Amino acid sequence: MPGTLPADVRAIDVLSVGDVTTDVFIRLLEARVVDAGEGDRRLELPYGGKVRFEHAETVAAGGNSSNAAVCFARLGLAAALVANVGGDQVGRDVLTALHREGVDTRFVRIDPGLPTNRNFVLWYGDERTILVHHESYEYHWPHLRPSEVPRWLYLSSLGDETLEYYGQLADWLEAEPAVRLAFQPGTFQIQLGTERLARLYRRADLLVCNREEAAVIGGGRHADVADLLDHLHALGPRVAVVTDGPAGAYASDGRRRYRVPCYPDREPPLERTGAGDAFAATLVAALARGLPLEVGLAWAPANAMSVVHRVGSQGGLLTEKELEAELEQAPPGYAVRPL
């Protein structure tokens, strides 16, 4: 269970790296969803008017990597986070929330001259549109003592002015060949292009992205998942995983390919924020425990399913015992199969 031992006496299992944000969820009552073609849907609101909302809820320490760190801690791993916050009350709330979850924050840098990142999540139906803003922090890879070097490093979303930081991180990873890297690219990382982050893609033990992202990152054919996996492997990762919404997910270790369906829902989802983070982090948690890829692929959808039934990205994350109990009652047809 998270928080059972002081963080500074536990070796770090997974060190998450990425921006942390406070997410304000705004439950809209009035909006319109428009189909713009080719799978592109737009949320429309009256320009210059007033829009009713039902209520607002705040997740103090959101963001892809923070979500992952909380997931690792809930699953009983020693989790730490490298991130930046401002010297404001929002930043103090972030640290308090992470401490409450048992996440080690010794590598969270406080910048007194900037505010903490804050996103606004427009929640309508079971989907959300996120208004994002990343502050321009001074990113510097921390000096880790030998006792602080983790077994796994989990890298996800950062701001768009971080190219030098990625070089520092790649240099450190090359100096620490025993550290395994899981990479779940965020929006700005994908926009930078694979060439600029080639060292990280090449170094990754695990690369996780959705189907649309896979086509952009690797250049494969969107309609052909095998081609997408082949193109991702060409970048260098040992294991490539492509998630595909209601269709489930696909994975390849370079020799074998697998497909896992979505975990069966007993009721409609409330909202989908954090499902991808829960999937990727739960898969990494299984691998960090030394379990086979097939086991991790079976675990991951169950936690993703749980998350979509609570507001926000973390409320539905399962503990280790809860995940075990959920999987014990999985329907007979739920299984990881060869692709």
- Asked whether residue 199 is domain-assigned, the answer is yes
* Cβ neighbours for 181, distance < 8 A, ≥ 6 positions apart: 152, 153, 155, 173, 200, 203, 204, 205, 206
pLDDT, position 315: 87
C-alpha span between 22 and 66 (Å, rounded): 10
- Asked whether residue 1 is domain-assigned, the answer is no
Give the residue ranges of the chain where pLDDT is below 50.
1-8
pLDDT, position 36: 81
Model confidence pTM above 0.95 = no
pLDDT, position 323: 97
pLDDT, position 5: 40
- Asked whether residue 2 is domain-assigned, the answer is no
pLDDT tens for each residue of 255-294? 999 999 999 987 777 677 779 999 999 999 999 999 999 9
pLDDT, position 9: 52
Amino acid symbol at 15? L
Amino acid symbol at 124? Y
Please tell me what DSSP assigns to residue 175. Answer: H
Please tell me what DSSP assigns to residue 4. Answer: S
- Asked whether residue 174 is domain-assigned, the answer is yes
- Asked whether residue 256 is domain-assigned, the answer is yes
C-alpha span between 282 and 262 (Å, rounded): 14
Burial of residue 77, with CB atoms counted within 10 A of its CB: 0-12 exposed, 13-18 middle, 19 or more buried = buried
C-alpha span between 155 and 210 (Å, rounded): 16
What phi, psi does 167 have (nearest 5°)?
-65, -40
What phi, psi does 78 have (nearest 5°)?
-80, 110
- Asked whether residue 219 is domain-assigned, the answer is yes
- Asked whether residue 262 is domain-assigned, the answer is yes
Length of the chain in residues, anyone?
339
- Asked whether residue 56 is domain-assigned, the answer is yes
What is the distance in angstroms between the CA of the first residue and the CA of the last residue of the chain? 35
pLDDT, position 266: 74
| Beta strands in the chain, from DSSP E residues, in sequence order | 14-17, 21-28, 32-35, 41-44, 53-62, 79-86, 104-111, 118-124, 127-131, 152-155, 180-183, 206-210, 239-243, 249-252, 257-260, 337-338
Residues of the domain holding 190: 7-338
In the chain, the number of structural domains is 1
C-alpha span between 135 and 131 (Å, rounded): 13
pLDDT, position 309: 83
Query: Could you give the 3-state DSSP secondary structure of residue 108?
Result: strand
Q: What is the CATH number of the domain that holds 77?
A: 3.40.1190.20
Amino acid symbol at 321? K
pLDDT, position 270: 64
pLDDT, position 174: 97
